Amino acid sequence: MRRSSVLAFILIVSSLLAVRQAEATEIRIKNASPYDFEDLLVAGQFCGQLRSGQMTDYKTFPVAYRTNFVRLKIRGSEYIFQPMDYPGEKPLGPERFIYVIKVLDLTRDGYKGGISIQAVSEDNL
């Protein structure tokens, strides 16, 4: 009896993990700004250095939205984009997307513009 309970538990957990994996989103990160990014972090995933115009390999995100948290450095200065909230927003789902990140209007005196991040379906790029 105990053996069948353990086996049932393992099957249930495996099924839940498979469903969770099926809902995961694969995303590449594209630097669409004229600046090289250092120490790039998107939604808790470290992406490292990303030169202007370059794109990362795909990374798996358990849950992803049209916009997400971004932290990066440009010339040693740190910049952060923090979405306010995701109320009512639906996750992107199990497709392939590209997060296009732009840093706007960086000046010698510091950060004067903003960071934009947008999820674009791979089919639309």
Model confidence at 21: pLDDT above 70? no
User: What pTM was computed for the model?
Assistant: 0.74
Please report, for residues 11, 13, 59, 89, 102, the alpha-carbon distance to residue 115 in angstroms, rounded to integers and kept in the order given.
44, 39, 21, 20, 6
Give domain limits for the chain.
25-124
pLDDT band at 10 (very low <50, low <70, confident <90, very high): low
Model confidence at 29: pLDDT above 90? yes
CA distance 45 to 27: 11
pLDDT band at 51 (very low <50, low <70, confident <90, very high): very high
Model confidence at 22: pLDDT above 80? no
Greater model confidence, 110 or 75: 75
Contact criterion met (CB below 8 Å) for 67 and 86: no
CATH topology of domain 25-124: Immunoglobulin-like (2.60.40)
